[in-house]
Amino acid sequence: MEILKTGGNLMARAKILITGDIPEAGLQELRQNFDVFDNAAVTDRSWVLRHLHEFDGMILSGTKGDRELLDAGTNLKIISTKGDGFDNVDIDYAKQKGIVVAHCSRSVRYSTAETALGLILATARRFHFYDHAIREGKWLDVSNPKYMGMNLAGETLGIYGYGGIGGQVAKFCQVLGMKVLYNKRHRLPAEEEKQRKIEYADFATLVKEADILSLHAPATPETAGVFNKAVFKQMKKTALLVNVARGSLVKEDDLVWALETGEIAGAGLDVYEHEPKVTAALRKLDNVVLLPHVGTGTTAARVAMAKEASQNLISYLRDGVAINQVNK
């Protein structure tokens, strides 16, 4: 019988449960190291709760890692989410139970940043508005100022949550000639700011000065509803909001109010407060671009995510080294 290590202890070949749809191309190394069960036809939540005690690790998707699930995983040693977000797992309770929670922070970077860039371009240049007009048989005279969009060169991009994705969005937009302000919990060293050609701004300054405000912070109790009516009132009336992070950062009804009243000029959204439900009023507005949470919706990105999630499990269960851990 093959003997493997887990957290420094010897154990028989570990068993891994995968919930949700994970590309097979990203699971080859995981299968070489462990016994992997990923039958999507049977792994609904009730099945998972009955059988989770049989598994040492899991890649979690499509269900919540709440207390009920964590209690069911009596032999569970590690959970990896399949993406960057980990708000679907009770990480504090997992820590109490000695379960490592890891996420996939690197593999999502480029595809999500590309999605943010696409929304920035689409909202700034009003592509949805033009597309809608064309489909209705209208040919707009864009010499009329009311039909014009915004150039990006020379404008200010505000990044709320400057991590890997936010940093990549900043790089993309700097190529287009944008100035970058950023805000995060822990300010970067001055030398790094200089190297990246970015400027730190407190939250109030970021909101007031950004021509385009791009959200990249995780969903936490501190970030819940942070973008609300009071904040929208502080933004420029010409400003645009782009969110590829988590819908909980934005109070959606307040955003509708801001868009309908002209308090801000437009928005590009890939995530929603009550996802997959999208506020009906948003769907009627031509100054909003709406995507169905497609930030990592490419074949290459999904395979890379599967590989990174696999590496989270392999590193811990085989080598005893926790990587990408979010509940240290």
Q: Which residues are catalytic?
A: 246, 275, 293
Answer for the pair 187, 138: CB distance below 8 angstroms, yes or no. Answer: no
**Spatial distance between the Cα atoms of 258 and 306, rounded to a whole number of angstroms:** 38
- 65 closest CA partner among 17, 28, 109, 32: 17
Answer for the pair 301, 309: CB distance below 8 angstroms, yes or no. Answer: no
Helix runs in 2-42, H state only? 28-33
**Spatial distance between the Cα atoms of 288 and 278, rounded to a whole number of angstroms:** 12
**Spatial distance between the Cα atoms of 4 and 166, rounded to a whole number of angstroms:** 38
Torsion region of 161: left, alpha or beta (phi above 0 gives left; psi -120 to 50 gives alpha): left
**Spatial distance between the Cα atoms of 328 and 92, rounded to a whole number of angstroms:** 9
**Spatial distance between the Cα atoms of 86 and 99, rounded to a whole number of angstroms:** 14
